[in-house]
C-alpha cells in the first residue's frame, strides 16, 4: 500500500464520505433495517456505519490495513463492533465468514483498480457466491471513461474539506488502461501525489460479466439519482439481481 493511500486514509471520510443519495439508493436496492449487507472496498467505513445506524446489519472489507484500522477506530467511537470491518481482497469476497448477504456493493470506482476484466469477472462471481441465491443483489459504481480518446485528459472536480483538498485527473493511455493522477494537499501543504494505471471498464462488457455470473436482471444508471446513463455523465451504477 503506497504512502499516498496511507495519508489519504486520515482524510478519507472528509473527502469521500457517504451522502444521503448513496444511502437512499442502497436502501432501495435492499439495504433496509435488518438486511445483511457487505460493503466491499469500504475505505474507512462511512457507508457501512451510516447503514448500521439505520438498523442494517452491515459489514465492510478493504485491502488497505490503514483504511480498516481507521474504520475500526471510528466504529469503536460510535459504539459499533470493530470486528465488522476487516482487511480482505475483493477477489475473495465469497470467503467472508458472515456470508450469505442480501446485498453486496462496491462503489467509488474501486473495481477499476483490478488488474484486468478477467479479475472483474472473478470479483463478480465471488460476489454471487457471497449472496443469498433467492434475493441477492450486487451494486457497482465506477467511472465510465470509454468516451476518452487515447491521449485525452479529463479532470474530475476537486474534493475539498476544511482540512484537505484532492485534485484528480484521468488520461487515456491505451484501449484498456487509463492513468489516474492525484494530488493531496492537507492543511495547506502538498503532502502526496500519485500516478497509477486503472482499468478501462466498458459498460457493455461489464453487463455481460454480470449476466454470465448468474444475475437474472441488470440495470444501468448514470448515478445514484437513477438518471439515464449517457455520455454527458461519467458515473455509472450497475445493479444485478439474482431473482
Domains along the chain with CATH numbers: 3-143+200-241 (3.40.50.150), 153-198 (no CATH)
pLDDT of residue 182: 94
What is the distance between the alpha carbons of residues 71 and 66, in angstroms, rounded to a whole number? 9
pLDDT of residue 175: 93
What is the distance between the alpha carbons of residues 168 and 157, in angstroms, rounded to a whole number? 7
pLDDT of residue 186: 84
What is the distance between the alpha carbons of residues 80 and 191, in angstroms, rounded to a whole number? 32
pLDDT of residue 2: 61
Binned average pLDDT, 10 residues per bin, the chain of 243 residues: 75 90 98 98 96 98 95 96 98 98 97 97 98 96 92 92 92 95 84 92 97 97 95 91 96
pLDDT of residue 147: 87
pLDDT of residue 9: 85
Sheet of 189-199, strands arranged across? 153-160, 164-172, 177-186, 189-199
Amino acid at each position: 500500500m503506497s504512502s499516498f493511500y496511507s495519508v489519504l486514509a486520515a482524510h478519507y471520510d472528509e473527502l469521500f464520505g457517504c451522502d444521503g443519495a448513496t444511502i437512499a439508493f442502497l436502501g432501495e436496492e435492499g439495504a433496509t433495517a435488518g438486511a445483511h449487507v457487505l460493503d466491499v472496498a469500504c475505505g474507512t467505513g462511512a457507508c457501512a456505519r451510516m447503514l448500521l445506524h439505520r438498523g442494517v446489519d452491515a459489514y465492510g472489507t478493504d485491502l488497505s490495513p490503514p483504511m480498516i484500522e481507521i474504520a475500526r477506530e471510528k466504529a469503536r467511537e460510535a459504539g459499533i463492533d470493530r470486528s465488522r470491518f476487516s482487511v480482505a481482497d475483493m477477489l475473495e469476497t465469497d470467503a467472508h465468514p458472515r456470508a450469505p448477504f442480501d446485498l453486496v456493493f462496491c462503489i467509488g470506482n474501486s473495481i477499476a483498480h483490478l488488474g484486468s476484466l478477467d479479475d472483474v469477472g472473478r470479483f463478480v462471481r465471488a460476489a454471487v457466491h457471497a449472496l443469498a441465491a433467492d434475493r441477492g443483489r450486487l451494486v457497482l459504481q465506477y467511472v465510465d471513461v470509454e468516451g476518452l480518446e487515447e491521449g485525452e485528459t479529463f479532470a474530475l472536480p476537486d474534493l475539498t474539506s476544511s482540512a484537505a483538498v484532492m485534485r484528480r485527473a484521468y488520461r487515456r493511455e491505451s484501449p484498456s488502461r487509463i492513468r489516474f493522477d492525484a494530488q493531496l494537499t492537507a492543511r495547506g501543504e502538498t503532502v502526496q501525489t500519485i500516478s497509477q494505471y486503472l482499468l478501462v471498464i466498458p459498460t457493455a462488457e461489464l453487463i455481460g460479466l454480470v449476466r454470465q455470473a448468474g444475475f437474472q436482471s441488470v440495470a444501468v444508471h448514470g448515478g445514484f439519482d437513477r438518471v439515464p446513463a449517457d455520455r454527458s455523465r461519467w458515473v455509472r451504477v450497475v445493479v444485478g439481481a439474482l431473482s
